[in-house]
Structure 1
Amino acid sequence: MSTTTPSTTPIPTARRRRITPTRALQATLTGYLPMILALMVIVFPLLWMLSSSFKASGEIVTANPSFLPHQPTLKNYGDVAGALPIGRLFANSAAVTLIGGGVKLLLAITTAYAVVFIDTAWSKFVFAFVLAALMFPGEAAVIPNYITIATMGGRNTLWGIILPGLGSAFGTFLMRQQYLTIPKSLLEAAEIDGAGHWRKLWRIVVPVSVPTIATVGLITIVTEWNSYLWPLIITDTPSHMTLPVGLNLLKSAESSTGVYGTLMAGATLIIIPIIIVFAALQKYIVAGLTQGAVKE
């Protein structure tokens, strides 16, 4: 009885592209170098702010500044806690961000679904208004919004901060672009099984759109948390201010050079929550922004 031995012929592999000095130089100049420069421009000011928050005022305002503090101190953070009702400001910002951002995200999800999957004569008309809202500068609506909210008794209230910004044209637009990539046959099959619009939205559309929803959610959270102009206009009492506005309660840097470290500590406290949220959602960002860009 004869036996066969397995072939030992090596499986051909793809040729590796030879890296020449010219190709390495091109990759460096067109790829790595711009990326490193962009990273330095973005990250260096944040690192300088973080480092300065641990410096004494004499180390910040000096002819020979250094990146790292010579004698690190937490005094600046103590000054922030003593000068500001930091707990109240943080609670206000958290409430505005969670409530305002949550409602904006919900409206973006449902409005985009109505525009894409509910075939009515008004769908294109509504989307035209969404596009018009993207081109409309928000600053132009400050005075009408202020008159409206003040008339309704919304000055120095959290709902007065939240209400004017509940609509999200950008979120609706981005969600609509994602929904257009979903095969309508999926929803037609669900409709044959007796599913209504609400069930189709939350059982089919939302699960396949998680990356885009996370992207819209992150952008909304950052926008709400960093919002400055409108909360500054509609509030003038510390008990209703948000963190970015409350930072103004610190002594102006123009009148005293000794508050730079305190201002840096306050700015660090404001930006840390956003960094944490971004770190938690960053894996969805690229997928959400590019989803639907390639047609299979």
Structure 2
Amino acid sequence: MNEQNLEYLKKSLDYLGFGTKLNDVLESAISREIPAFTLGVNQSYTSAQAKKAPTVGSDQMRVMLNFNRSKQSDMYFLNDYEVTLVKAGSALPIKQIFDLERDNRITALQAYKLLSGNSLERDVYTKAENGEAAEKKRVWFKLNLDVQDAFGNHPLKKFYPEFKFDLSESINKYPFKGLTELEKEGMMRVLRNGNLAQADMLIGRKSVSVFVTANPQFKGLDVYDKNMSIIRQDEIFPKQINEPTHNQQKTRTPSFETEIGSESAQDRASWESSQKNSSQDQEISR
């Protein structure tokens, strides 16, 4: 058994958010020299709504991790993992396969947030074509949960800096009540981590308690009431929606070419170099 390879895989599992709970079954499978095997683990998360009403219950997530042995050596590789999420109060599971290389080593917690409908921002490393050192960029991620591709996956959209989504400017567009600069900075940290932020917003001359999450595709925010029902943009901006200007229409229409322009380079998440920053904010999104 390749001990160095085993330790690397254990570190990978820890980085992805599974701790050491799979180490024993991983070592057992490798010692038996199984060509390909799958390990499963259950995760439980408490949504923001459940924190306010414990009777709602927790969200349950099942993760199946797929390992393969190299045909040329005794090394094993963790290529991808499949997630099945069942939200509290819902019988309809949401499924997604995350490829570690293609999807920039999305962690289990980040997978939960994305499958919950939230966007998040994180570092990715783009490999230069001319052989130069990888460049680190801040990239927004969002799953399109409305559609599935030919493999049953929801498209994972990536929004690079060239897309020019400015979270601070987006927050400024919305009629938050009494939001100080310090509170705004805190909100931005929460949203970048893929969580819901709670605030008060003036809607129809009334102060309403809302939850918000970032929507980089439309360069704005998704706004929900206390029951997690979406509040439409035309309720928040009745005049702007009813009488849109040319510039507003342009802002609300994402440039697909800009979004994917940087994806032509091979993306890599160098977890080894950023492992000290890999601990995730345990405040759960929704």
TM-score (norm 2): 0.20
TM-score by length of 1: 0.20
Which has the larger strand fraction? 2
Q: Which has the higher contact order (CA 8 A, sep 6+)?
A: 1
